[in-house]
Structure 1
């Protein structure tokens, strides 16, 4: 039995009376399973604990198991990366002695000390990012400039998380200090248990930072998770790097830092490419294969694209040019090449790769690999022979190829892809740029959602987020996002509603202007619906093939999705159910957001644009973790 899931919110803790170096921060004991005195499990535990300590003294980390099921014990121990072997040994001896008193007769225990960490259990948890809870310990701070502090810390710790996860030393540890004001210096520390993959370490640290944002604002804090932790302080709490087990990266110039991050990323991807193995991740007791992302060398891509010739160029997106190519095995690909003049950096590129590599669904475009060589950074996707929905839907000649059956299939496919992003994938993802040009079509006209450059990862318990940098495409943006920077899964629902109405009408939301009154497509649909003239909204080319009840029902669902108040909109799971069953009664929609009209008329502003081939306008922005 695993420990119950928990969320521990702590403002202050009474530390036990020890030297500060070995002070206990927190402990979690399994409250559901215990072992009998003198049992085989206790014997195995007594063998395991000293073994962990003795093997971790010099390396700072060790994990192993003792015994066989059902009495097998799994254990992991970690020392903070900045301490000496002697301090590590003393901390490990103390924590092993204390765990039996803190969690007597328990089959699972986790104990955080200031300088070391111990976890054991009767179930295997190695290489796992399972969510068992997050502990935060904060110290109230009288900050002189609190409004500026959180953005500063987010940027500061965001860079540190990348350094910790992808440092070539494999220590999964990093420290950093940075001047906040003339009188205040911020000190940060991040560390993961070394059984995690680099990507999972990065994800764990990002989730910890999101927890800091929601709990601790402008305070000093320690965020403790079961596979990683972060510390934010205003004094030099970590040890001098000359006496560390895992020294931080040296100070370098911005140009050197860019080259080093490219090299670090290359080492990481090459290592994963050369093994060609699956990483087994334990989640809720089940093994899930997570295929690692292959690295494709520059020479192969030069041959595949005829040295990136103009004849093979499919178009240009915010990311840079996109080329069609053919690999030596005959597989057709789309190569997105980061423009050298682009402001996108290695960290943003890594965020994009890390996110898309974790997603696998038949209605999402598939990332085949990436290339990082010399000054080049490229993403390699499967090639979509039918280009984008945009190229068919709004083209007078090709529009007729989209009969009602195909349009309904595209609507359902996009809905299922969004449902996967919001609820069914390993991550909870808000896409933020659902639109016709970001829906690619395969050889059978099946839809694939693309362009995750603006996507954000949400924590499981997180409902919404806010940004001061609104990115996306006007006409598809939810009003709360366009006007206030607030976004959530309901923002994607709004965009999906706009797309649905475009699909069944054959008209662009930002291209419709009536002679007597400039109206958005949403207002036009609402007016016809309210007047009982909904059939007049349908694209004339599908009138004969579209059953009246299905056409009107789709308009109804589209209007439910574009309601002004986010809470009134259905979830994507509700949308999928409503689309799949005509027997389910639909609630009456409220008026769509009128304020959106002022943004969409005569506006085609977007973060990117695309017209041909497999282009899906990848633009990259920072990814916030789940």
Structure 2
């Protein structure tokens, strides 16, 4: 049975690195299945909601804190399981299972198969029947505390081995809940917890432990703590108490010779047969001859690989499938990435993203001030050079910034999955000694705003470069919204988040505030509005509603900044506090739009192309999201000279100067004016601009 489950156990390996996080945060880990998604308001979703209403009570009132259930008929049948930890009370169990169903639909949106692990419980639902206690695991997580034990590794591993075997054996054979806890009299003590599904037979429980325990030896040797979370059994050990109540077992500290963790009830070693001594001596002579030769070959191969690696620039490929979350505990804060080992490319890719702190310190001259590229709300960015002369930009997130932690989660989850010439490439990540470092490809021309709004450098951006930048940003957003496997809303598009490479090719960066949408999802609402005023769409700034059209609004503001060379946040009339949108609209309606073009561009710039960009920018900043074009439509508008552009209405957040016959436009939270009673479309001087010819 063990070999059967081993073949069907796609184990999700984890990479873990410790850093300080606020205590008492919720500990959640998710595993989202690969089956097809369901749609909003579908029968499948209704069946999940029905199970979420009954399973919490069924589990919490059960003697074993365990419940199974299924609702519906094919093809919309949903199977579900809830199991609370054996030391959890009924109230905590009910709350944990209820929250688990809610979190599953947030962390695995519209996924037909989802598992949520929390400290007190775990839940799973799926369209596949996994309810049998002998069903193979759908996956497991290996999590580790990266702090080394104070004892020598040999001593500590021997103690952990004795603790694990004893606790697992107790859970399998001596508890109706298939649950056990233990403590070992090492100094400091080691505490262990083991649990199987209560409906498993003792032999099946032992078989499950036999599969997962060897991974503790493989990945957690000499570490202060670790856990393996499977869907039929799980195990954890730490050097502090993490469970409720007294330990069910007291285990004396073993000698150094005690066995390391091994499968429960593992087959004993085969006795040496008669004549074995002479065979052993012969084998020893063979080893004495062959080992030096093998060692010499291995040394030669290693030297060749090192020389080859040194000559070649390191190649890093973003993983195809990556998930991210945090483990929280008062004294155990761990960061990990999960990858699917059934795809070898994923394993190689995620490993290539992990960079050593020593490497980044050497690359940046220990984060020397002379290598500082810039500073933002989440930390400082430094220039560095990796071995192989690869130039990088290292974002060093603030140690105290909780928002920086959330940004880091988003950056790794989203950027690592995205591949496009107009999106910044993530080179790697480092989380050591409480440092949180994100490493990107280096952009020699820094961010767009550092050139565009600089009196002396803005002349570097002639109209040809600016038009290519507008096109590149549009293509990058189209990829995020429509062309990638994911549907991503950036939520903070602005000049400082557009980086320029040596050829002035734009790359969208900073996905810390980005949000992932389901394929059928059109919008969402948040109670926590984040971003940059001036670039926020009105429906987002005032009601928290965001969608791909929110990014289109930000893009429209950015186009107007690029063409005019003016910041949107600056007041251009001290008496009226007229902002950029108001200024552009005023000149657009008066037919004097040329007067506010950036003077740093040459006089030979194609005015019709610039006028078209202003027109597109105004269409993108319309108050009603439905009036804003999709980014795929914008790219067509930019590239075609025959596409007809509709006349724009007065943009959102627009204030008309006094003396005008037009009424004020509805504004955001930082403008105090009344709503407009008229939104008639207007075009400058009633001249059509639908027959533009490129030059």
TM-score between both structures, scaled by the size of structure 1:
0.59
Return closer, same or farther for 1:444/1:345 CA change in 2, 3 Å cut-off.
Answer: closer
Deviation at 1:441, TM superposition (A): 0.6
- Change in Cα spacing, 1:574 to 1:377, as seen in structure 2 (3 Å) is same
Which residue of 2 is the match for residue 113 of structure 1? none
Aligned to 2:346: 279
Instruction: Measure how far apart 1:355 and its partner are.
Output: 1.1
Output the CA distance in 2 between the equivalents of 1:367 and 1:175: 39
Say if 1:410 and 1:447, in contact at 8 Å, map to a contact too: yes
What residue in structure 1 maps to residue 591 of structure 2? 532
Match of 1:556 in 2: 615
- The offset of 1:527, in angstroms, is 1.5
Deviation at residue 328 of structure 1 after TM alignment: 1.4
Residues 174, 190 of structure 1: 8 Å contact kept: no
- RMSD between aligned residues: 4.3
Greater shift, 176-185 or 392-401, is seen at 176-185
1:463 aligned residue? 522
Given the alignment of the two structures, is residue 262 of structure 1 paired with residue 334 of structure 2, yes or no?
yes
Matched, 1:247 2:239: no
Partners of 1:401 and 1:185 in 2: CA distance = 60
Partner residue, 1:294: 353
Match of 2:109 in 1: 207
Question: 365, 369, 374: which is aligned to 2:433?
Answer: 374
Structure 1 residue 185 corresponds to structure 2 residue 95: yes
8 A Cα contact 1:520 1:597, kept in partner: no
Q: Determine which of 477, 496, 521 is the counterpart of 1:418.
A: 477
Partners of 1:463 and 1:498 lie apart in 2 by 22
The correspondence for 2:642, drawn from 583, 594, 602, is 583
Task: Sort the Cα spacing of 1:520 and 1:186 in 2 relative to 1 into closer, same or farther, 3 A.
Answer: same
Aligned to 1:62: 8
* Equivalent pair of 2:410/2:514 in contact (CA under 8 Å): no
Q: 1:243 to 1:189 in 2, by over 3 A?
A: farther
The equivalent position to 2:391 in structure 1, one of 327, 332, 339, is: 332
The structure-2 alpha-carbon separation of the partners of 1:525 and 1:309, relative to structure 1 and needing over 3 Å to count, comes to same
SS of 1:473's partner is coil
Q: Residue 397 of structure 2 contacts residue 437 of structure 2 at CA under 8 Å; is this kept in 1?
A: yes
**For residues 467 and 211 of structure 1, what CA distance do their matches in structure 2 show?**
25
Offset of 1:436 from its aligned partner?
0.6
Residues 132 and 534 of structure 1: CA distance in aligned 2, closer, same or farther (over 3 Å): same
Query: Would you say the 8 A contact 1:364–1:450 is kept in 2?
Result: yes
Q: From the superposition, tell whether residues 208 and 181 of structure 1 become closer, same or farther in structure 2 (CA, over 3 Å).
A: farther
Is the contact between residue 403 and residue 545 of structure 1 (CA under 8 Å) also seen in structure 2?
no
Structure with higher RCO (Cα < 8 A, 6+ apart): 1
1:8-56 Cα offsets, whole Å, 9 max, x none, are xxxxxxxxxxxxxxxxxxxxxxxxxxxxxxxxxxxxxxxxxxxxxx678
CA contact (8 A) 2:113 2:127 kept: no
Residue 187 of structure 1 aligns to a residue whose secondary structure is helix
| Residue 417 to residue 494, structure 1, CA distance change in 2 (3 Å) | same
Q: Does 1:394 align with 2:453?
A: yes
> Does structure 1 conserve the Cα–Cα contact (< 8 Å) formed by 2:453 and 2:565?
yes
Determine the C-alpha separation between the residues in 1 that align with 2:441 and 2:93: 52
- Specify every segment of 5 or more residues in structure 1 that has no aligned partner in the other structure, as ranges: 1-53, 64-75, 78-126, 144-172, 192-201, 213-220, 231-237, 281-288, 603-626
How many Å separate the matches in 2 of 1:538 and 1:179?
Answer: 68
Q: Is the 8 A contact 1:474 1:599 kept in 2?
A: no
Which whole-Å CA distance do the structure 1 matches of 2:94 and 2:422 have between them? 49
Aligned residue in 2 for 1:545: 604
* 2:489 corresponding residue in structure 1: 430
The CA deviation string for residues 151-202 of structure 1, in whole angstroms up to 9 with x for no partner, is xxxxxxxxxxxxxxxxxxxxxx9968999999962416979xxxxxxxxxx9
Q: Tell me, what secondary structure is at the counterpart of 1:349?
A: helix
The answer for the alignment partner of 1:88 in structure 2 is none
CA contact (8 A) 2:407 2:511 kept: no
TM-score (norm 2): 0.54
Query: Offset at 1:248?
Result: 6.9
Query: C-alpha displacement at 1:392, in angstroms?
Result: 0.8
Q: Distance in 2 between matches of 1:133 and 1:561?
A: 32
Distance in 2 separating the partners of 1:370 and 1:227: 38
Partner secondary structure for residue 583 of structure 2: helix
Residue among 126, 129, 144 paired with 1:224: 126
User: Which residue among 338, 352, 370 is the counterpart of 2:411?
Assistant: 352
| Contact 2:406–2:512, Cα closer than 8 Å, also in 1 | no
Distance of aligned partners of 1:583 and 1:252 in 2 relative to their CA distance in 1, 3 Å threshold: farther
Q: Which residue of 2 aligns with 1:139?
A: 50
Tell me the CA shift for residue 262 of structure 1.
Answer: 2.6
Distance across 2 between alignment mates of 1:340 and 1:573: 40
Deviation track 1:317-350 (CA, whole Å, cap 9, x = no partner) reads 2221211111111111111112211114767633
Distance in 2 of aligned mates of 1:380 and 1:495? 26
Q: 2:545 aligns with which of 486, 492, 497?
A: 486
Could you say if the C-alpha distance between residues 579 and 291 of structure 1 is closer, same or farther in structure 2, counting changes exceeding 3 Å?
farther
- CA distance in structure 2 between the partners assigned to 1:239 and 1:188 by the alignment: 23
* Equivalences for residues 586-605 of structure 1 within 5 A: 586-594=645-653
1:149-160 superposed matches below 5 A: none
Aligned residues: 422
1:175 touches 1:188 (CA, 8 Å); kept in 2? no
Which whole-Å CA distance do the structure 1 matches of 2:332 and 2:572 have between them? Answer: 52
Q: Is the 8 A contact 1:556 1:589 kept in 2?
A: yes
- Does residue 299 of structure 2 align to residue 312 of structure 1? no
CA contact (8 A) 2:112 2:127 kept: no
CA distance in 2, matches of 1:374, 1:227: 44
- 1:351 to partner: Cα distance: 3.5
Q: Tell me, what secondary structure is at the counterpart of 1:314? A: strand
- C-alpha offsets along residues 107-154 of structure 1, whole Å, 9 cap, x if unaligned? xxxxxxxxxxxxxxxxxxxx98463546331229999xxxxxxxxxxx
Q: Partners of 1:535 and 1:180 in 2: how far apart? A: 71
Q: Do the aligned residues in 2 keep the contact of 1:498 with 1:562 (CA within 8 Å)?
A: yes
Structure 2: which 5+ residue stretches go unaligned? Answer: 12-31, 55-81, 115-122, 132-137, 139-176, 180-193, 198-231, 244-325, 654-664, 673-695
Aligned counterpart, 2:567: 508
